[in-house]
Copies of this chain bind each other. A is one copy, B any other.
Amino acid sequence: MLNYVHSIPTKLFFGKGQISHLSDALNTFGKKVLLTYGGGSIKKSGLYDEVKKILDEGGFAVTELSGIEPNPRIESVEKGVALCKENQIDVILAVGGGSTIDCSKAIAAGVYYEGDDLWQMVREADHIRKALPLVDILTLSATGSEFDPSAVISNLKTNEKLGGTFTYPAFSICDPTYTFTVSAYQTAAGSADIMSHIFEGYFSRTPDSDLSDGIAETILKSVIKNLPAALNNPDDYEARANLMANSSVACSGIPEYGKASTGWPCHTMEHELSAYYDITHGVGLAILTPRWMRFILKKDPSCSWRFVRFAKNVWGLQGGDDAALAEAGIAALEAFFRSAGLPGNLTELGITDEYFRAMAEHANVDNFLADAFVPLTNDDIVEIYKACL
C-alpha cells in the first residue's frame, strides 16, 4: 500500500427529504445566494419550485444563473463570477448534476482569482486555495462532484476540456428521488461514469490493497446490479439510492487508498471527444473503455492478471485460460453498456477520424499517458480511437 491522505470536509445528507437541511446549510454562510442550474429539467421536475419556496421562506436574496451546459463552458464561469461580484454573493447553491456543480466550483474559486483570464485559472486550478462556499443539491448519479473538489471546464474556442481541483462542496444534499426523472440514456451514461472512476484506481500495478480493490469491486457490482433495475423502473428507490451512494463513494478516494496514482487514459481521451464533439462524457467513456482494455491487454499481456481478477470478482466468470477469461470480462463490460442502451461506437455519434491525431496529442500532452497502467504513445491513442469507429 502506498501512502494516502483522506480529507473530505463535505457534509453529505443522503436520502429522501434531506432538502429539509437546505436552509440551515445556507444560513451557515449568509443570505445572498447565487442559484445555479442547467437547462431547465429542474423546472419540469418541480425541484426548482421546491427550492425557490425554501429560499423565499428563509428570506434569502437569490440571484440566478441558468443554462449551464452539459459540458460546462468557461463563459458560464465568467458569467457566474460577474454575478457573484455584482451581488456580493455569500454562498452558491448548485442544483443539478456534475456539470452544474463543476461550473459552480469554478465560479466559487473564480470570485477570488486575481487575474483577468478565468481560463488561465482553470489551467492552474491545482493552485486554488480560496473559494466561496458551495452547497449543492444533486440530481444525477454520475460524476461524484458532490463529494470531491474536482471540476472539468470546456473552452470551445480552443477545443480544450480541462479538469482540476477547485473546492469541495460544504454541503451536498443527495436525494435519490430527484433522479427518478433522469432519462434512461443519462442514467446509463452516469453509471458508466461511476464505473470509470473506479477503473481509474482498479487498473493499477499496486497489488496489495485488499481494502481498496474490494471496495472498487463492490461499487462495480452494485452499479451492474442497480443500473438495469433503475432502467426497468425509473422510480425504483433502492436502485436509484444505490447508484447515488456509489457515485459519491467512487470519488471519495477510498477505492484508491494505497494505490499508485497514474495517468488515466479513458477520462483524458474522452475529454477530447467531448471537447471536439460536445458528447455526453459517460457515453464517450462507455465506448472507449472496452477498446482501451483490449488494446493494453494486447500491447502488454503481462497486465492480464488484473483483467482475470476483474472477470472473476466483478463478473463472476470462471474457467478457460487467463487470456480467455480476461477477454470475457471485457466483453461482459461491453455487453453491459450496450444492454443499457448506450451507443456501441463513435460512428453512431457522427464522429470520424478527422481530429484523432490532434486529440491524441492533446490527451497525451507532456507525455501524461507514459505514466498510465500500460503506457500509451500518441500512436497508441489514435489506434484506440480508431477501434471505436
Binding site for B on A (CB under 8 A): 1-18, 176, 208-212, 214-215, 217-219, 221-222, 225-226, 237-238, 241-242, 245-246, 248-249, 252, 254, 257-258
Contact = CB atoms under 8 A, between A and B. Distances in A.
A252 B253 CA distance: 13
> Which of A214, A226, A237, A258 is most buried by chain B, counting CB atoms within 10 A of its CB?
A214
Contacts of A217: 214, 218
Contacts of A242: 1, 208-211
A210 B215 contact: no
A267 to B, nearest CB: 22
Contact of A208 (B12, B219, B238, B257): B238
Contacts of A16: 3
B2 A6 contact: no
6 contacts: A3-B14, A3-B18, A6-B248, A208-B242, A211-B219, A214-B215
A244 to B, nearest CB: 9
A55 B106 CA distance: 39
Among A209, A238, A245, A246: residue with most chain B CB under 10 A: A245
Contact of A210 (B9, B214, B221): B221
A9 B9 contact: yes
A261 to B, nearest CB: 13
A221 B214 CA distance: 9
Contact of A218 (B13, B211, B238): B211
A177 to B, nearest CB: 12
B210 A14 contact: no
A266 to B, nearest CB: 23
A257 B238 CA distance: 13
B14 A246 contact: no
Given A208-B242, A210-B221, A12 B6 contact: yes
A1 B176 CA distance: 10
A246 B4 CA distance: 14
A37 to B, nearest CB: 24
